[in-house]
Structure 1
Amino acid sequence: MTYTTRFAPSPTGYLHPGHAFSALTAFKAARSHDGAFILRIEDIDHTRCRPEYEQAIYDDLRWMGLDWPEPVLRQSEHMADYQVALERLKSMGLVYPCFKTRKELMLEALSAPQDTPVLPPGDAPLDREPAWRLALTEARDYLGSRWEGLGFEEQGRGPNGEHGWQVADPSINGDVVLARKDVGIAYHLAVVVDDARQGITHIHRGHDLFEATHTQVLLQALLGLPTPQYHHHALLLDDTGQRLAKRKGSKSLRDLRDEGINLADIKALMANYAKA
């Protein structure tokens, strides 16, 4: 099987050096194994994604010397496929409707340690469409003895040094939302469908997504999809020790280029993290 990696950014802002580090890590891994590097555009959140950011992704990655097979898969063009996966989980009794708004869920999460309560369908507000959440208890019952065997091979290092076989614990993320009324299918479901569709064998990504792996491994098992091997890496930090992030206003690759920093400078910035 061909060693196949991917870089899957969302076009909700310009790429920063943290993105560059992740993309280069995946690209170099694919090249070192005579494998394939795939670019995927995760643009399911139409409320935040912008065409100019998507074009900037292509421009920045080409500036970095990366290349990838065409055409690029854009998730917004495959919503029907994700809906099929959701309907399958519905038919299996593994998801349930939640009529709470995002604000209500956030307030309840802050005020109570117990599971977020949901309104049964019969008591649903007439003016609300439900979000669909993964039902962990039913998923565990469905898998039976296979639940205990859920896990993934960590070839890199997790945020606490995790390495080697990791027993999956989907409860750390709770009953995650798999579909929302505002953007449709949510991240966890779309990503496992696409990783299987594109034959991804090795996933290189940052520590911030390590815990998401526990839920994604469960979805892979429920949908009969293969589980790739994972290679999580450290995150680039700013001068204050905070991780770089678009929502925090971290300087983008474009900003740095405008300041006269070249690709060699950016690669030097990442060198200290190469073994993390």
Structure 2
Amino acid sequence: MKLLRMWPLVSAALLVGCKIVILPMEGGSVVSASGAYDCADGHRCVIDVYDVFFDERFTAVPAPGYEFTTWRRAPERFCGGSTEACRLKTTAFPGNDALLDILESDKEFFLEPIFRKVYPGEYRITYRANDAPRVIDSNGRVIGSFIRTNEYGTSWDIQVNFEGLEAPYVLTVLEVAHAPVPQGFYHADIGYSGGDCSDQHRPMALSEANNEFDPYRVYMRGSERIYIPTPNGRPSELDFRMRWSAYGLGCEAYADFRNPVLSYPLSNTNLEIYFPLKVEGTDIIINQHLDLVI
């Protein structure tokens, strides 16, 4: 398939390059309203645009078990942050020499949809307005409210909310690997009953029995695997015959806890975090250190 190039004008995204590159990720495809273009997942599709008559509307189509979340926002990408179909056209170019020059160039622009796997019974993020500054991800989505940073300036607490759950939850992002780990930092305490470290094998929060457990902490295994403790979930003693994974340990390894361990069931959420995060009205930019999630 051909690659396509676009240019934003006024309030619409308008195609202005010679080529537009469509980059569907796993979980879906991109099709045009005319039916002329159909780009399957995992394929890099190129559409060549030669004239001022190009006018297409592109739709991201999720595969079964997936959903379309947004068009990726990044340099030289079109419709970034939008959740709607993306219209690209050159019909307004005549009379504008600058746009016509771009049309005749060989520069590439991109259209990149983001799809995510949908889990049965997952909790869906929602934003509830309050007096705290909003936290916005790199795709322009509001994910929550800024609460605080620790005394070292290395961890950031963000309040997030989920549909159907009244209480707010706290997501902690740890930015610097060598800095002191904040007390109550939960990213590492995720276990699995399966040896492949897959969340299809009952993800669970692990806590020594003599530690107080916080049911309103967000647990992160990578920026696209984010859980919360199952509301009203009942803990059980960890069966050490189960295989599980935690930060610093490989799959099929056992924990070296000194005290009895309780496991709390975790539930999937649809929260995915695209770094860097920005705190609205401030100069704070938050990046997750990749070594600090498993």
**What TM-score, normalized to structure 2?**
0.21
Greater strand content: 2
Greater helix content: 1
Which of the pair has the greater relative contact order for Cα pairs under 8 Å at 6+ separation? 1
The structure number with the bigger radius of gyration is: 2
**What TM-score, normalized to structure 1?**
0.22
